Amino acid sequence: MGSGHMRVFLRRVAALIGFVAALWIIQAVNWATNYALNAAFGLIPRQLSGLDGVAGMPLLHGSFEHLIANTPPLLLLGTLLAATVTRALVAMNVVVVGLGGTLVWLLGSSAIHIGASGLVFGWFGFLIARGLVDRSPVTLGASVLVGLFYGSIIWGVLPGQPGVSWEAHLFGAIAGAAAAFLIRAQVHAPRMRDVDLR
């Protein structure tokens, strides 16, 4: 990684840390207002008043424990994205948040859906699928790391855990995988053209 790429990487990591810090500030305000932000800006399926939750859902949490659970994967997966994607980070996040949130709004259960875990699953889906789509040593390596560290989270896309928006997990992962196919995110390594992953 050259000095120019290192500067970009460090700026992206600083932005990631700023984003996570903002989540903690929002959580403190939410807690201080007795979680009024969740009702005002959470995603409520099939209600026009809840449509703004497509953008609001990843910023809101139901408790400090909820945010504590989301913080490490946001930092790890976000750092992997910052290190391996040279373009299209904004476009990828728009697809993950927009498509994933819209699917929850259209098909989710009647509840207020909140939390950054849909974003976590979107980044997870993107990193895994991009390794298969791009086939560069960097993206394949990132896929393997993600699989080793967070492969078990895939069970979170199944219903059954009370109070957990498995729909946000499922549709976030689907949106992330879709982004890997729709958006060609350049990496710092050549594609492995002779690798057959069928």
pLDDT tens digits, one per residue of 139-195:
777 778 777 777 666 666 667 777 788 999 999 999 999 999 998 755 544 444 443
pTM of the model: 0.86
In whole angstroms, give the CA distance from residue 93 to residue 77: 13
* pLDDT at residue 190, rounded to an integer: 43
The alpha carbon of 58 is separated from its chain's Cα centroid by a whole number of angstroms, namely 9
Per-domain residue ranges for the chain? 3-182
pLDDT tens digits, one per residue of 9-61:
999 999 999 999 999 999 999 999 999 999 999 999 999 999 999 999 999 99
**Is the Cβ–Cβ distance between 62 and 115 less than 8 Å?**
yes
Provide the 10 A C-beta neighbour count for residue 135: 18
* pLDDT at residue 63, rounded to an integer: 96
Q: Domain spanning 3-182: which superfamily? A: Rhomboid-like (1.20.1540.10)
